[in-house]
Amino acid sequence: MVNRGIRGATTVTKNEEAEILRETVILLREIVERNDVIAENISNVWITMTNDLDATFPARAIREIEGWEMVPLMCSTEIPVKGSLPKCIRLMVQINTDKSQREIRHVYLNEAQKLRPDLSESKP
C-alpha cells in the first residue's frame, strides 16, 4: 500500500453553519463513494476554507460520521488570492491504498467544478 491524496472541493451560497456542515459531508461522502474508501484506510484529512467562511469548523461534520471519530482532521484557511473562487471548502483526503494515481477520482462539486474542469465529472 502507498499513501495517496484525493482532492475535493465544493462551494456554499452563504456563510452559515448548517450549509457549511451539510456541503462538507456531501463532498466527503462523494469522495468516499467514488474511491471505495473506508475510514480505517484514511491517514488524515486536510480541510481548508476561503476567508469569507467563518461560521463553523467543517471538521465538526466529519467527526459526527460514524466510524470517522478517530480520523485525524485539520482545518485551515486558503491563501487569500485576489479573484479566487469565493465560499469554497476544499478537502485533501490522504488514504493508504493499492490504487494508482490514475485510479484516484477527485471530486469537484457546485461552483468548485470551475477549479478543475479536467477532473470534474458528473455524478453517476
Within a domain: residue 105? yes
Within a domain: residue 9? yes
d(CA 35, CA 57): 25
Within a domain: residue 74? yes
- pTM: predicted TM-score of the whole model, two decimal places: 0.93
pLDDT of 118 reads 81
Catalytic (active-site) positions: 7, 63, 75, 78, 90, 108, 116
Q: Is the pLDDT of residue 123 over 70?
A: no
CA distances from residue 101 to 14, 18, 83, 105, 108 in whole angstroms, order as listed: 34, 33, 30, 9, 17
> What's the structural domain count of the chain?
1
**Cell, residue 46:** 486536510
Give the count of beta carbons closer than 10 Å to the beta carbon of residue 3.
Answer: 11
d(CA 41, CA 97): 7
Domain with 14, as residue range(s), is 2-114
As a whole number, mean pLDDT of residues 96-102 equals 95
Binding site per annotation, positions for prephenate: 7, 90, 108
What's the CATH code of the domain at 69? 3.30.1330.40
Among positive and negative, which fits the CA dihedral 86, 110, 102, 99?
positive
Within a domain: residue 124? no
Within a domain: residue 53? yes
Q: Residue 115: what residue type?
A: L
pLDDT of 121 reads 65
Binding site per annotation, positions: 7, 90, 108
Within a domain: residue 120? no
How do residues 10-67 score in pLDDT, each as one tens digit?
999 999 999 999 999 999 999 999 999 999 999 999 999 999 999 999 999 999 999 9
Within a domain: residue 122? no
pLDDT > 70 in the chain, percent? 96
Within a domain: residue 17? yes
